[in-house]
Amino acid sequence: MVFAYDTEESLQAAVELVNAAEPPVTLVTVAELEAFFDRNGYTGRHDRTRAELEQVLALQPRLRELLVADRDSAARLVNEMLADAGAVPQLVRHPPVDWHIHAVPADAPLATRILVETAMAMIDVIREDELSRLAVCADSDCEGLVLDLSRNRSRRYCSTTCSNRNAQAAHRARRTGQAATV
């Protein structure tokens, strides 16, 4: 594991949320937000309303800016986000997770908790100088974000769709190259 469990979970959820804005656009219904909530192991307040969905979607540009920022800009953004939210880090333990940090109460709006969790996760990324773990997809037509938590830093594409498309293109280019030399 590159980062602590809750840091990796928060980063994964943030990247998923940002990438939901890329085609094919997802997370457009309250039901999809509910699935996102469950899939990413969120606990605490969940209104299941259109207003909550809109607040969460409104985070996409701010999270994107933070996740692809250079180290000094990311530090400034994290400080702003934590101050705006009045974040107070507290150790909490709730099933199935052992002691970890929450910095806003469980009854704070979901969008606030996602923003603060992402900012808290970025503290680890910045301190360990691991911002290269976050990048824009290597596909030339894709703006999706890639979170590379692999040991050998081998992830370049945001999705299997992008990685398959590029593998096929590389294969075709090799075949064309061979045909040209024959």
Residues that bind Zn ion (CB under 5 A): 137, 139, 142, 144, 158, 162
- Measured from the CB atom, the residue of 73 and 164 that comes closer to Zn ion is 164
Q: How near is the Cβ of 143 to Zn ion at its closest, in Å? A: 8
Tell me how far apart the alpha carbons of residues 44 and 118 are, in angstroms, rounded to a whole number: 16
- Measured from the CB atom, the residue of 140 and 178 that comes closer to Zn ion is 140
Q: How near is the Cβ of 142 to Zn ion at its closest, in Å? A: 3
Q: How near is the Cβ of 91 to Zn ion at its closest, in Å? A: 10
DSSP letter for 159, please: S
Cβ atoms 89, 77 nearer than 8 A:
no
- Measured from the CB atom, the residue of 34 and 42 that comes closer to Zn ion is 42
Tell me how far apart the alpha carbons of residues 77 and 93 are, in angstroms, rounded to a whole number: 27
- Measured from the CB atom, the residue of 29 and 90 that comes closer to Zn ion is 90
Q: How near is the Cβ of 51 to Zn ion at its closest, in Å? A: 23
Greatest Cα pair distance in the chain: 68
Q: How near is the Cβ of 102 to Zn ion at its closest, in Å? A: 5
Strand spans (E) along 80-122: 90-94, 97-102
Cis peptide before 24 (omega within 30 of 0): yes
Cβ atoms 134, 125 nearer than 8 A:
yes
Tell me how far apart the alpha carbons of residues 63 and 140 are, in angstroms, rounded to a whole number: 22
Cβ atoms 124, 3 nearer than 8 A:
yes
- Measured from the CB atom, the residue of 134 and 142 that comes closer to Zn ion is 142
